[in-house]
Amino acid sequence: MLLHQRMGALGVTKSELARRLGWHLPQVDRVLDINHRSRLDRMDAALAALDCRLTVETETAA
């Protein structure tokens, strides 16, 4: 998952991500859990705390 990779690349722990976001650790655990259906705004916030941006594109089916 991109979020895990970015955290590793920056050396950011779950505790540090929680601090940056103002979240509790269970909230960070949920956004990191690939089986949890995290809302896009939560994922976007977590990525933004790591200097990334979430983008979504659509294409018309042929």
What are the pLDDT digits (tens) for 1-12? 789 999 999 999
Q: Answer yes or no: is 54 within a domain.
A: no
Per-residue pLDDT averaged across 19-34, rounded?
A: 95
Q: Answer yes or no: is 23 within a domain.
A: yes
Q: Answer yes or no: is 56 within a domain.
A: no
CB 62 within 8 A of CB 55: no
Q: Answer yes or no: is 28 within a domain.
A: yes
- Report the pLDDT value the prediction gives residue 20, as an integer from 0 to 100: 97
CB 36 within 8 A of CB 27: no
- Count the domains in the chain: 1
> What are the start-end ranges of the H helices in the chain?
2-10, 14-21, 25-32, 40-48
